[in-house]
Structure 1
């Protein structure tokens, strides 16, 4: 007959309270638990409790040393959010630095840290779900292309708190083989479903004025989203600035040619700093960044004579663009045009800068746009007619008019009942634009693969 081992009987509660009285860190509430380690102990006798209390893990936790699992979670989260590749964990200089200043904490390898990726991702997703539960939401979506010319779509939300601006949350960064209104809408609806957000919770959608994005707004409304689709107002003002650039082609040529003179030329920059102490280097006009051409034009209008003296001393045969730049600096009409741009459109550049602040209230944003409207209508210049025409064309946004009416309390739209939620409604999509730069490592190969696994659905 085979020997059958009998299961050990659990002691009664009064017996447990009696023998754990010698261990202040242990409590009993149906299970024996350790307050320091925050775990359930699978033991029911005094000897086992003593072994746990004397264990290395318990002593480290008692002395304030972070448990290994929590340390791994925190390290992983910091590396990902700061954009630091996991490869650094295997670099000898970094490991020696860590060993010198943190000798009591073992630095994990890159391979060991990857084992915690899934758990941390699930933890982040759950925290976002809790933050979005039963809240009214602001939604922003945009697309760009990666190095392989594939379309990448980012989806960002904000909680529409009536009392304060909130931090934007990146919910999804998806790669699409085909970027259409339907595929982007599918990404948005799938993302909302993943985070258990009903479409009815979304009150506002902000995108650029592209035709595809306009279709996304229409499709979402057809899917039950009672939202206002507003096009980004910084994009709108940027288009106005681009029209100004086209109205002043000689100024544009001056800026472009002078950039070439100083670009990647330490010799020319040294000459500039020697003759213009205290003056910052010539501004660069980056067409993909909002308002940079206006910023460059204002800079050249202010320091025209100083830069002219420096540029005219360069040998045209040695510097790219020097000959054209010198020709433009000798043209008196260009200096006049620069002053016109400065006098007429300096306020427009300031408005573009202000609107990129995502913490503005809706009232403040509307006030800035009204100031731009007033500014452009008061300029007495024949070329401004085309600028004003561009401004009027980007103003045609029916849902934005409804948003203004809701803010003024004169709208009959059903969303008026959520008027207070629109107090800090952002009218720009700069957050989603910047997210492409901030999370550009997501779709890289090699050392960033673990980051891609962590953030591809967050």
Structure 2
């Protein structure tokens, strides 16, 4: 068995050297395409050649090369960013600490009338994609034994569609940009996503390449699903909260009347529905 394994290792290593070493990689057993995020059948050399000539593979290769060039500019970008004002970050952290949602910054009186006028700083806002694109963000971090890890946004890309294949391809191409000399498969320990079925399917496929990886679903998404289920179990309470929100949200006269009739009672908190 050792001789067979040695023969296989030499074969796949030879294929990596023969073709583009920046695109193909191997763990001495499997032949892996970094651009497509797939394993390649290497039983015959012709199978590999045929795969390399596929239009889809060539397109993914060009995309990966572009991303690698962008990754080379990452250190410059970080250096430039560190010299910029910390005001947007400090403002966001202050809002988070006191529990103020970021959409409050969209208020024209607060944004333009006070903050921009007196601070002369760019004011961040909570943005959404107006055209309904599939945007995926890859956030990485290290696992520390004695302190919380620091996270970094590695890449943010627009996907043609959101499914297990595109997620797996994005994950592997992002790691290829992080480790241009070769993906360190054993160093990937956690894959944290929401609980969507296509994310679970992507994780199952990636576990074949990353032997030490565990798939964890985000706790916030799990709590949100539980809260939504509880909300469905109590429709009367749900309608009560919704009606209170309608009465007070954009009716200053009702708010004033409530204060006059019950001056000792604070206004009901704004629900997050």
Rounded Cα–Cα distance in structure 1 between residues aligned with 2:234 and 2:156: 39
Cα distance change, pair 205–150 in 1 and its aligned pair in 2 (3 A) = same
Match of 2:143 in 1: 160
Cα distance change, pair 227–278 in 1 and its aligned pair in 2 (3 A) = farther
Larger Rg: 1
Equivalent residues, number = 163
Equivalent position to 1:257, from 236, 239, 243: 243
Match of 2:190 in 1: 204
Shift of 1:256: 0.9
Match of 2:14 in 1: none
SS in 1 for 2:189: strand
TM-score w.r.t. length of structure 2: 0.51
Shift of 1:75: 4.7
Shift of 1:181: 0.9
Shift of 1:183: 0.7
SS in 2 for 1:164: coil
Rounded Cα–Cα distance in structure 1 between residues aligned with 2:166 and 2:81: 34
Match of 1:179 in 2: 162
Cα distance change, pair 279–243 in 1 and its aligned pair in 2 (3 A) = same
Rounded Cα–Cα distance in structure 2 between residues aligned with 1:72 and 1:152: 25
Shift of 1:182: 0.9
Rounded Cα–Cα distance in structure 1 between residues aligned with 2:158 and 2:165: 14
Cα distance change, pair 252–97 in 1 and its aligned pair in 2 (3 A) = closer
TM-score w.r.t. length of structure 1: 0.32
Give the gaps of 5 or more residues in structure 2. 1-78, 93-115, 121-127
Larger RCO (CA within 8 A; separation ≥ 6): 1
Q: Deviations over 1:112-131 (max 9, x none)?
A: xxxxxxxxxxxxxxxxxxxx
SS in 2 for 1:178: coil
Q: Deviations over 1:374-427 (max 9, x none)?
A: xxxxxxxxxxxxxxxxxxxxxxxxxxxxxxxxxxxxxxxxxxxxxxxxxxxxxx
Shift of 1:167: 2.3
Are 2:257 and 1:271 equivalent residues in the alignment? yes
Q: Deviations over 1:202-248 (max 9, x none)?
A: 11122111111111211211223421112223322322222221111
CA RMSD of aligned residues (A): 3.4
Q: Deviations over 1:284-309 (max 9, x none)?
A: 3334xxxxxxxxxxxxxxxxxxxxxx
Match of 2:171 in 1: 188
Shift of 1:176: 1.2
